[in-house]
């Protein structure tokens, strides 16, 4: 059993293992570059705003 299957078998988190791994990598990426962090925060703010509008 690979780590992805193991995770989906044991975890109660509905998100897929790869998705969590990507999110973790994205957080590390933005921690290294302040401008990327600001841009990403703005993008996510826009997405939140769109969700509220919908």
Least distance in Å: CB of 18 to other proteins? 10
Smaller CB distance to other proteins: residue 6 or 29?
A: 29
Euclidean distance between CA atoms 38 and 46, whole angstroms: 12
Q: Could you tell me which of 16, 15, 40, 14 has the C-alpha nearest to residue 27?
A: 40
Helix %, strand %, coil % for the chain, to 5?
A: 80, 0, 20
Site mask for other proteins (CB under 8 A), range 19-48, x = bound:
---xx-xx--xx-xx-xx--xx-xx--x--
Q: Which residues bind other proteins (CB under 8 A)?
A: 22-23, 25-26, 29-30, 32-33, 35-36, 39-40, 42-43, 46
């Amino acid at each position: 059993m690979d780590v992805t299957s193991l995770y989906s078998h044991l975890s109660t988190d509905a998100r897929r293992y790869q998705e969590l791994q990507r999110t973790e990598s994205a957080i590390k990426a933005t921690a290294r570059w302040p401008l990327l962090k600001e841009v990403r925060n703005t993008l996510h703010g826009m997405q939140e705003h769109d969700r509220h509008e919908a």
